[in-house]
């Protein structure tokens, strides 16, 4: 069973990258946001979805500074990345 926030991979579409479950109603379709493919609606009983184990992940933190209306605005993004050997 998948829950909101779970990180998943689609076995038939590895080029999509890691996806994050955005919406997971009971027994229904999942809304998943993939790195390379955007948002997809997928039925977990049909698609080859697997959870990405926490020990296979590391996180890339990107810190950005932009100027808006003469003021500096700092934001950051956290991107999950699968560890490679």
For the chain, state the CA radius of gyration: 16
Tokens representing 55 are 């020990």
Return the pLDDT at 84.
67
* 3-state secondary structure (DSSP) of residue 28: coil
pLDDT in tens, the chain (85 residues): 889 999 999 999 989 988 999 999 887 899 999 988 999 999 988 988 999 888 888 887 889 999 988 899 999 887 777 776 5
pTM of the model: 0.69
């Amino acid at each position: 069973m998948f829950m909101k926030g779970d990180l998943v991979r689609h076995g038939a579409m590895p080029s999509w990258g890691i996806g994050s479950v955005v919406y997971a109603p009971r027994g229904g379709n999942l809304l998943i946001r993939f790195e390379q493919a955007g948002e997809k609606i997928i039925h977990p009983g049909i698609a080859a979805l697997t959870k990405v184990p926490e020990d296979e992940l590391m996180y890339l933190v990107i810190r950005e500074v932009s100027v808006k209306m003469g003021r500096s605005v700092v934001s950051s993004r956290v991107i999950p990345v699968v560890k490679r050997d």
